[in-house]
Amino acid sequence: MVEYTPKERLAHVLTGQSVDRMPAVSFTQTATVEQMEACGAFWPQANDDAEKMAKLAEAGHTVVGFEAVRVPFDITAEAEFFGCEIKAGTKEQQPSVVGHVVKSVEDIEKLKDYDLDHGRIGVVCDAIKILADKYGSELPVIGSMIGPFSLAQHLNGDDWFMAIFTDEAFGLALMEFTTQFNVAYARKMVENGADTMVIIDPTASAQLIGAQFYEKFVVPYHRKIVDAMHELDVATVLHICGDTTQGLSLMEACDVDAISVDQSVNVSDAMDKVSEAIIVGNLDPVNVLWNKTPEVVKQKSKELLDIGVPLLAPGCGIVSKTPTENLQAMVEMAKSHSYP
Ligand SMILES: [Zn+2]
């Protein structure tokens, strides 16, 4: 029997090749208070310090048993990098974006000269380097970033949804800008040792903006990122929040390798909607992983495995107060599942 490293196993699954069993990974944020206490690296410091960020990401592997390491833990580093005002996070809560910096095409021009070594973008890349040096030969090193549509929303604020409907030139210019940044940032993460890329684009939902606007404002931009990653032989996973069922074939149109679906999606419906993309999901992070017992986590995992989910994982970011034993129950169920 072939022995796979966790890195080979995940790479095989994401490219549709056969393997011995399911990898145990999370493509969404992994940090919890129990892991912080176990490893001594806490939020919010672990969001700003590469050593601490790497340490807390490592706890996902050493404490929980995930067969991968993943950074960062939030989706505000990108907006912060461009000067948006951020509400600081706490030990239990991620930071959030509260101020916005782009109202016009002229504002976009002012942001075009940036240096990826700076700010938290630089911190994430440094953390990836630390993790890749330590684990890169064995474990997948997962780099994650906010997607271009949700970054545009962070930069523009609540006007963004109206903007795409009423000011196409501005909307497309901002998508072009955020996407160029995403491509450069993703390449830099890969240069530093990331081998798997996750695009978290929570509000880029066809359910919210409609298929026509999704095709125009999202698909070509996601495709640019995915193409840039494929040139580097890096598999890419796309996560969009909410019930994405009706938009799944459009989501797949950007050639992404895997799609992480939210708990509001029925996984067997999702699998019917895609032709090649691997469906990832979708244990409820609140009502199952956080608030239930390991036994319930195992039961819910079994239900997903029985309907054939290709990759068992949380349906969205893991809640910081989630008990380790619940995450371990999910890991155990994934690892015990051999592929036919
Ligand atoms: Zn989500």
- What pLDDT digit, counting tens, does each position of 171-204 carry? 999 999 999 999 999 999 999 999 999 999 999 9
Q: From the CA of 110, how far away is ligand 1's center (Å)? A: 31
- Structure-block tokens of residue 188: 């830099």
Please give the distance, rounded to the nearest whole angstrom, from the Cα atom of residue 201 to the centre of ligand 1.
8
Bond prior to 44 in cis (omega within 30° of 0)? yes
Residue 281 Cα, ligand 1 centroid: separation in angstroms? 10
DSSP conformation class of 68: S
Ordered by where they begin, the domains of the chain are 27-333 (3.20.20.210)
> What Å distances lie between residue 282 and 53, 103, 190, 289, 318, CA to CA?
25, 36, 27, 11, 11
Q: How far is CA 249 from the centre of its chain?
A: 19
pLDDT per residue as tens digits for the range 263-278:
999 999 999 999 999 9
Question: Is there a contact between 85 and 158 (Cβ–Cβ < 8 Å)?
Answer: no
Q: What is the CA(238)–ligand 1 centre distance, in A?
A: 10
CA of 76 to the centre of ligand 1 (A): 14
Alpha-carbon gap, residue 59 to 267, rounded angstroms: 29
1 CA from centroid of ligand 1 (Å):
37
Which residues contact residue 20 at a Cβ distance below 8 angstroms, ignoring those fewer than 6 apart? 1, 2, 4, 9, 338, 339
Q: How far apart are CA 326 and CA 138, in angstroms?
A: 25
Give the tens place of pLDDT for each residue, 64-122. 999 999 999 999 999 999 999 999 999 999 999 999 999 999 999 999 999 999 999 99
How far is ligand 1, taken at its centre, from the CA of residue 261, in Å?
Answer: 8
Pairing mode of beta strands 235-239, 196-200: parallel
CA of 3 to the centre of ligand 1 (A): 33
